Structure formats: structure tokens, C-alpha cells
Amino acid sequence: MKKAYLYIAISTLMFSSMEIALKMAGSAFNPIQLNLIRFFIGAIVLLPFALRALKQTGRKLVSADWRLFALTGLVCVIVSMSLYQLAITVDQASTVAVLFRTCLDT
């Protein structure tokens, strides 16, 4: 249980500092490119854990699963997060963070 609290604290710290890091790196990268890099690295890091969990539970992914993944990726990653990245480039990171959190809570 103590490990879970540690993981929650680390993820909270990383996610809450994301807007500031994106604002600082925004001038070096295109916002869409930054979005692609961020989610690509996240997928590479999480993929081994997901494959191991699938193997341990004996589950197989079918074509309907892949279609749902593609739809979720299109809507959440490409559309939503790209607009989020663009918003950070044109407004203050603190304002975008508050609006983003408000949308997540509703």
C-alpha cells in the first residue's frame, strides 16, 4: 500500500508540473510535435507493463479492442491534447491548467 502512495505522489508531481514544462519547451518544439513525443515516450514506457499484465491474466486483444484504442487515441490524444498544447502557447500556463482541470472534473 505504501508503494501505491509513492506512485500517486510521483504521478501527481509530474502531471501538475506539466504545464510549466510545456510552456518552457514550447519555443523549442511545435506543440503538435511535443504532444507526439510526450505520448510516444509514455507508450513505450507503459507498453511492457501492459503486455506483461495481459500475459499474466491470459487475455488477448481482439480487433474491437484495437478499434476502441484507435478511437480513444484520436479523440483524446490527437484532438484534445493537441488543442491543449496550442492553448499553452497562446495563454498563461496557470490559466490553461485551471481550465483543463475544471474540464476533467465535470
Q: What is the mean pLDDT of each run of 10 residues along the chain (106 residues)?
A: 81 70 68 77 87 92 90 82 77 74 61
pTM of the model: 0.61
SS (H, E, C) the chain: CHHHHHHHHHHHHHHHCHHHHHHHHCCCCCHHHHHHHHHHHHHHHHHHHHHHHHHHHCCCCCHHHHHHHHHHHHHHHHHHHHHHHHHHHHCCHHHHHHHHHHHHHC
Domain of 44, in residue numbers = 2-105
Total domains in the chain come to 1
